[in-house]
Amino acid sequence: SAVISQKPSRDICQRGTSLTIQCQVDSQVTMMFWYRQQPGQSLTLIATANQGSEATYESGFVIDKFPISRPNLTFSTLTVSNMSPEDSSIYLCSSCYRELEQFFGPGTRLTVL
């Protein structure tokens, strides 16, 4: 199995500010994913991050709001920009290993006041 860590584990932020979430995996992976889990809801894919190329965003998510970096094969960041209370969610990163098995990080619980 893979070990994925995220920082911070939780944060409380003021509206209009930005937060960068870090995701570290313990082995090199080609694909990393960022998901959002809004309160009481399921997980929704934000974007796919491949090393060496721009992230691919899902419908409803844009790079200006959720810029993503993928500087190497074990690390990625997601920034939530110009935050509003509607951005309060758990943000999770994951990576895909053999046989399409995805491992998830523990999540970052974001509260925007």
Partner 1 sequence: AQSVTQLDSQVPVFEEAPVELRCNYSSSVSVYLFWYVQYPNQGLQLLLKYLSGSTLVKSINGFEAEFNKSQTSFHLRKPSVHISDTAEYFCAVTPNNQGGKLIFGQGTELSVKP
Our finding on whether 111 is near partner 1 (CB under 8 A) is: no
End-to-end CA distance of the chain: 37
Our finding on whether 105 is near partner 1 (CB under 8 A) is: yes
Structure tokens at 86: 């509607």
Our finding on whether 66 is near partner 1 (CB under 8 A) is: no
Distance, in Å, from the CA atom of 22 to the CA atom of 7, rounded to the nearest integer, reads 5
Comparison of 68 and 83: residue with beta carbon closer to partner 1: 68
Our finding on whether 2 is near partner 1 (CB under 8 A) is: no
Residues in the chain: 113
Q: Which residues bind partner 1 (CB under 8 A)?
A: 31, 33, 35, 41-45, 48, 92, 94, 96, 99-107
